[in-house]
Amino acid sequence: MAPPVAEGALPAWVAVLGCGLTLCCLGGAGPLWSSSHEWRKLILTQHWPPTVCKEVDSCRDTLDYWTIHGLWKHEWEKHGTCAAQVDALNSEKKYFGKSLDLYKQLDLNSVLLKFGIKPSINYYQLADFKDALTRIYGVVPKIQCLLPEQGEDVQTIGQIELCFTKEGFHLRNCTEPGEQLPYKQEAWLAEGASTEGLMVCEDGPLFYPPPTKTQR
């Protein structure tokens, strides 16, 4: 479980790098509740900090649990426009509060540990993650990886997306068979699509890197 949040304070675990998005609309900028921003599902993206830090090469220490990547005013102003169509998300407080509620509800860290999936120098199979998440949540997630760098031979898991219905916030498959949602019909509960270097994982082995700690 994530660390408790002190009343009136932003928890440290929501800001791995001090950037990123929480509940952003893929429809672009525009006035709140604009009818031009139609969307059908919410996407909660959780990042694995060691991989994100590897991607941007700017971290010395990394967290050891999956986290929402960023909860700041910028995210609401730039990306909360579509979400504001829903009464439960029509204010900055509701917008971020619902992101935190769903994060805690999913409890991704505990789910993976329940199936013995924990950071390791050994490789897992992508199917290990898919099977565990599908068995617990009953829906198909989207799992994205950092492609191998020169001299490497395996992809590195970076983020996991779980999707919710627009009404009622019920879990749903991120992509239904044969479904290709237009760009403007998704709303995000954390950054995913714009994260450079991350792509949908290929079937096969993947690396789930342990957190790094600076020697003191």
Tens digits of residue pLDDT in 69-104: 655 766 666 656 667 778 888 888 888 888 889 999
| pLDDT (mean) for 3-18 | 31
Tens digits of residue pLDDT in 133-160: 999 999 999 999 999 877 788 999 999 9
Q: CB neighbours of 108 closer than 8 A, spacing ≥ 6?
A: 46, 66, 160, 162
Instruction: Tell me whether residue 29 is in a domain.
Output: yes
Residue 194 has pLDDT above 70, yes or no: no
Instruction: Tell me whether residue 159 is in a domain.
Output: yes
Instruction: Tell me whether residue 27 is in a domain.
Output: yes
Name the token pair of 162. 């779980």
Residue 209 has pLDDT above 90, yes or no: yes
> 60, 214 in Cβ contact below 8 A?
yes
Residue 51 has pLDDT above 80, yes or no: yes
User: What CA dihedral angle connects 69, 129, 174 and 105, to 10 degrees?
Assistant: -60
The parent domain of residue 141 ranges over 14-207
Report if pTM > 0.85. no
Closest CA to 89 of 24, 35, 19, 133: 24
Instruction: Tell me whether residue 214 is in a domain.
Output: no
> 50, 212 in Cβ contact below 8 A?
yes
**Hey, which residues are catalytic here?**
69, 75, 79
> Do the strands 205-207 and 155-165 form a parallel or antiparallel pair, or are they unpaired?
parallel
Better-predicted residue by pLDDT, 112 or 41: 112
Supply the pLDDT for residue 79: 57
Please, which residues bridge with residue 186 across strands?
A: 41
Instruction: Tell me whether residue 97 is in a domain.
Output: yes
Supply the pLDDT for residue 113: 97
Percent of the chain surpassing pLDDT 90: 38
Instruction: Tell me whether residue 66 is in a domain.
Output: yes
**Domain of residue 123, CATH code:** 3.90.730.10
Instruction: Tell me whether residue 39 is in a domain.
Output: yes
Instruction: Tell me whether residue 57 is in a domain.
Output: yes
Q: Domain total for the chain?
A: 1
